[in-house]
Amino acid sequence: MEAKNHTEASEFLLLGLSDDPKLQPILCGVFLSMYLFTVLGNLLIIVAISSDSHLHTPMYFFLTNLSFVDICFISTTVPKMLVNIQAQGRNISYIGCLIQVYFFTLLAGMDNFILTVMAYDRYVAICHPLYYMVIMTPRFCGTLVLLSWFIMLWVSLLHILLMRLLTFCVGTEIPHFFCELAQILKVACSDTLINNIILYVATALLGVFPLTGILFSYSRIVSSLMRMSSAGGKYKAFSTCGSHLSVASLFYGTGLGVYLSSALTHSSLHNSVASVMYTVVTPMLNPFIYSLRNKDVKGALRRLLKLAASCL
């Protein structure tokens, strides 16, 4: 194949999950349903928390941000996939691919950071309850979220600027259902050493350190709970962590699954299926986990639904 400069490569081909025409309507229906469930579920969480003054606390402030990020996260990949299935095409423009890479990297990182600050919030609430309102002020919580956005905006931009320096061959095929940075680097026609180094360093710094922070927070939480004499106090304290622990385990578990699938197998289908768990299933399950395991959120949702029913 003849190599051309990246500015002349007007589009890429996304191979998707399957090229079987009989499976396309099924895939479209499944992913459309999952997308709608995710958007509606997370919107309900946001509206319920915003409308209930009892939930205007740091923990639910972070949960609102997590739900917003999850809506944006799934909207980065699934709508384009649905459009391609309906149009019976696989193409994505070069600029469209850059935009997908940028926002996917940005929002995946934001999920990571928000889960970390939520773990810190639970650590302060359980291990230092007397200082909780002094430490977790609205200004401090807002600063944590804004700092997370600032870091990820620039990290994502760095990846895009480095990607712009690459050249691609005519008719480049991406063995995925969306533009994932790691997959794009594999199909580039020019040297990607710098890109891969930056990718590995960013993954280590923005993945390992936040995960270490979460593990450290929960180790201190468990240590604090072990010193409690009341079984009821232990249960009540740890029950506030249950939803977050479930969501964090799902996020990092599926993320690790994507990494292992990519490292241990060269099958594009296995990599794509693993990525579905990470990019689609996790954002969809988050609102269900919080609404089923958290009494405050369930109460807020019931009051919101009663209010909506009375207005009809």
Rg (CA), the chain: 21
Domain total in the chain:
1
Alpha-carbon distance values, 164 to 61, 159, 296 (Å): 36, 9, 47
- With beta carbons less than 8 A apart as the criterion, state whether 164 and 9 touch: no
**Is the pLDDT assigned to residue 308 strictly greater than 90?**
no
- With beta carbons less than 8 A apart as the criterion, state whether 266 and 183 touch: no
Write down the pLDDT at residue 266.
60
3 state SS of 93:
strand
**Is the pLDDT assigned to residue 153 strictly greater than 50?**
yes
CA distance 49 to 63: 9
- With beta carbons less than 8 A apart as the criterion, state whether 49 and 297 touch: yes
Pick from 306, 311, 303: nearest CA to 52: 303
Query: Is 235 among the domain residues?
Result: yes
Q: Which residue has the tokens 């995925």?
A: 176
Domain that holds residue 29: 9-311
Query: Is 194 among the domain residues?
Result: yes
**Is the pLDDT assigned to residue 274 strictly greater than 60?**
yes
pLDDT in tens, 247-258: 888 888 887 777
Q: Which tokens in the block code for residue 169?
A: 């061959």
User: 87-93: which pairs have CB atoms within 8 A and are 24 or more residues apart?
Assistant: 88/24, 90/13, 90/14, 90/15, 90/16, 91/11, 91/12, 91/13, 91/14, 92/11, 92/12, 92/13, 92/14, 92/179, 93/10, 93/11
CATH code of the domain covering residue 116: 1.20.1070.10
Query: Is 1 among the domain residues?
Result: no
| pTM tops 0.75, yes or no | yes
CA distance 77 to 272: 12
- With beta carbons less than 8 A apart as the criterion, state whether 206 and 155 touch: yes
Q: What mean pLDDT do residues 229-237 have?
A: 69
Write down the pLDDT at residue 101.
94
**Is the pLDDT assigned to residue 7 strictly greater than 50?**
no
Query: Is 4 among the domain residues?
Result: no
Query: Is 190 among the domain residues?
Result: yes
pLDDT in tens, 85-141: 888 878 888 899 999 999 999 999 999 999 999 999 999 998 888 999 999 999 999
Residue 232's pLDDT band (cuts 50, 70, 90):
low
Alpha-carbon distance values, 13 to 8, 21, 177, 302 (Å): 15, 17, 9, 45
Query: Is 174 among the domain residues?
Result: yes
Pick from 261, 256, 280, 274: nearest CA to 203: 256
